[in-house]
Amino acid sequence: MTNVAEAARTPRAAARQVEQRRTLSRSTLRTISILSPLVVLVAWEAFSRAGVLDERFFPAPTLIFQALWVEASSGELWTQTQHSLTRLIVGFVIGAVPAVVIGVAMGLNRVVNAAVRPIISALYPVPKSAVLPLFLLFFGLGEDTIWYFVAMGVFFPVVINTYTGVANVSAIFYDVAENFGAKRLTVFRTVALPGAMPNVITGLELGAGMGLIMLAIAEMMGGQGNGWGFMVWNSFQLFTIESMYAYLLVFALVGLLLALIVGFVGRKLTPWISRH
């Protein structure tokens, strides 16, 4: 029965072809994704060296890496990193922890929600960078001003996403918890928190990114005279453009690293979510 055999083979072969096309295009796409930034870098290097690009504004990438190496080997980079990283971590914690607590409280309690929600809605659209002078006014030129400023940037995305997460936990799970005799704190621990966790993590991801932005602004304008943001600003003023680019590169790497860390921790905290 060749007919039957062929009928069976044809769709399978077709499926294989489709599969092949898909895998082929996937690996091609990945190659393109790796090559395209490299092409930009090489072109940048070439054009900068050839004088097509103004070397004062677009120093060749090799010069930027060299500047970064100088910063690193002199210990300067490490000093600045200590300042900035401390601010980022302290700011992140004092922003994220209350945000999770308040977000959960809003999601669980309608009174809290009614009270807090309008305040958050009113403050949220204000450009965060615009309130730095206010923070300087309130808290002075101290280290803590930068913490609070970073914390504010972290707070909003975390509180909003946490609230959304808790509010969207299906009512049936609360019924189950109640039926099985869970008290308030147990309901919180076994239903509200894990149910909202995927959204909390999204909030933390966005919050980490926002925190980095706030850090850069505060260090450029907050008058501390150190940190990655200050180095960017200072290099601009001294017109040592290579080192300005070097610290911009540091910001990019830190941003990437933050996203990776939060993503990793997020996956550890939500092992029940299928990822394919």
Partner 1 sequence: MSNTTAPASAATTTATTDPKIRIRGLSKHFSVPGGHVVTALDSFDLDVPQGQFLTIVGPSGCGKTTFLRMLAGLESPSEGSIEVVGGTDGRPENAMVFQGDSIFPWMSVWDNAAYGLTVRGVPKAQVKETVGHYLEATGLTKFADAFPHQLSGGMRQRVSIARAFANDPEILLMDEPFSALDEQNKTLLQAELLRIWDETRKTVVFITHSVDEAVTLSDRIMVMSAQPGRAKAFIDVPFERPRDVLQLRHQPEYGEIVYDIWSQLKEEVEKAKQQADARVAPKRHGLFRR
> Residues interacting with partner 1, by CB under 8 A?
172-173, 175-182, 186, 190-191, 194-195, 197, 270-274
The smaller minimum CB distance to partner 1, of residues 57 and 180, is found at 180
Shortest distance in whole angstroms from residue 267 CB to partner 1 = 13
The smaller minimum CB distance to partner 1, of residues 62 and 190, is found at 190
The smaller minimum CB distance to partner 1, of residues 131 and 176, is found at 176
The smaller minimum CB distance to partner 1, of residues 66 and 190, is found at 190
Residues contacting residue 261 through CB under 8 Å, at least 6 positions apart? none
Alpha-carbon distance of 177 to 175, in angstroms, equals 5
The smaller minimum CB distance to partner 1, of residues 29 and 273, is found at 273
Q: What is the DSSP string of the chain?
A: -HHHHHHHHHHHHHHHHHHHHHHHHHHHHHHHHHHHHHHHHHHHHHHHHHTSS-TTTS--HHHHHHHHHHHHHTTHHHHHHHHHHHHHHHHHHHHHHHHHHHHHHHHH-HHHHHHHHHHHHHHTTS-GGGGHHHHHHHHTTSHHHHHHHHHHHHHHHHHHHHHHHHHTS-HHHHHHHHHTT--HHHHIIIIIHHHHHHHHHHHHHHHHHHHHHHHHHHHHHS----SHHHHHHHHHHHT-HHHHHHHHHHHHHHHHHHHHHHHHHHHHH-TTS---
Shortest distance in whole angstroms from residue 222 CB to partner 1 = 41
Shortest distance in whole angstroms from residue 85 CB to partner 1 = 32
Shortest distance in whole angstroms from residue 154 CB to partner 1 = 25
The smaller minimum CB distance to partner 1, of residues 70 and 187, is found at 187
Shortest distance in whole angstroms from residue 182 CB to partner 1 = 5
Shortest distance in whole angstroms from residue 111 CB to partner 1 = 21
